[in-house]
Amino acid sequence: MILKSRDKPILAMLEWIRVRLMTRLYTKREGIQKYAGKLCPSIQDRLEKLKVESKAFSDTLAGSFLYEVGSQYERHVVDLVKKTCSCRSWDLNGIPCKHAITAIYTNIETPEDYTHSCYFKETYMEIYKKVLPPMPGQSEWAETGQPAPLAPHIYKPPGRPPKQRKKASDEPRNPYKASRQNRPVRCGKCKKEGHNSRGCKAGITGETPWQRRQRLQREKAVSN
């Protein structure tokens, strides 16, 4: 997210990040308030797909809120009290799996009630309820009476400032990107390796264009 700002000076970069966060908090907060569901939209879409997949399973009541859910190819144990399934998908992400949904519908309940509370709309609104306060400009800063700080002398090296992040010495490189060091240099004129077209010696006689024109005229006159 900060690729657009990391080549800026430190104060400009921090100001860009602050405005970005302030805008993002407002967008998230206003977007979820218009949503009428109980779960977050992405989690609700995921749950709807699991509901369709659960139609291929049948369940057998083994005890109080304890079911054996299976199909022609697999079988699992679902405990609605502990909110667990032997496939461990419900245990890991807090979203009822397709086996648990089959047991929940048999128990005449809804899968949304068995989803973890971290996926609720109320939890999402609680996360983004804080407002990042806007800041006034430099013209409205309070006067302190102290002398203004002097900017440090910055040495500007020649060339264009780098934008790429400096990688650590032990950081793995991209194996799919060939470096210029490992790539052979091929000349565009003679098509040979080891030099480029700028340093190619092929076809160079050491004469100026005027001398070459005079030589061609003499050769043409002799041939005639």
Quick: pLDDT tens for 199-217: 676 665 555 666 677 878 8
Which sign, positive or negative, has the C-alpha torsion 143, 144, 148, 154?
Answer: negative
Tally of structural domains, the chain? 1
Identity of the amino acid at 176 = Y
Contacts of 85 (CB under 8 A, 6+ apart): 69, 76, 77, 78, 79, 91, 97, 99, 100
HSE at residue 17, side-chain half, CA atoms within 13 A, is 13
Average pLDDT over residues 125-138: 89
- Given this model, what pLDDT does residue 92 score? 93
- Given this model, what pLDDT does residue 204 score? 58
Tens-digit pLDDT profile for residues 60-107: 988 888 999 998 889 999 999 999 999 999 999 999 999 999 999 999
Q: What is the mean pLDDT of the chain?
A: 85
- Given this model, what pLDDT does residue 143 score? 85
- Given this model, what pLDDT does residue 197 score? 74
**Residue 173 domain-assigned (yes or no):** no
- Given this model, what pLDDT does residue 46 score? 93
**Residue 80 domain-assigned (yes or no):** yes
Average pLDDT over residues 128-139: 88
Question: 113 is in which domain, residue-wise?
Answer: 41-124
**Residue 219 domain-assigned (yes or no):** no
- Given this model, what pLDDT does residue 202 score? 64
Contacts of 128 (CB under 8 A, 6+ apart): 25, 28, 29, 32
Q: Long-range contacts of range 7-11, CB-CB < 8 Å, 24 or more positions apart?
A: 7/161, 7/162, 7/163
Q: Is the pLDDT of residue 188 over 70?
A: yes
**Residue 209 domain-assigned (yes or no):** no
**Residue 92 domain-assigned (yes or no):** yes
What's the full length of the chain, in residues?
A: 224
Share of the chain above pLDDT 70, in %: 89
φ and ψ of 110, to 5 deg: -110, 145
Q: How far is 199 from 3, CA to CA, in rounded Å?
A: 38
**Residue 24 domain-assigned (yes or no):** no
Each residue of 87-97: b (16+ CB within 10 Å) or e? Answer: bebbeeeebbb
**Residue 168 domain-assigned (yes or no):** no
**Residue 184 domain-assigned (yes or no):** no
- Given this model, what pLDDT does residue 4 score? 84
- Given this model, what pLDDT does residue 116 score? 94
Per-position DSSP letters for 162-174, written without gaps between them: P-SPPPPTTSPP-
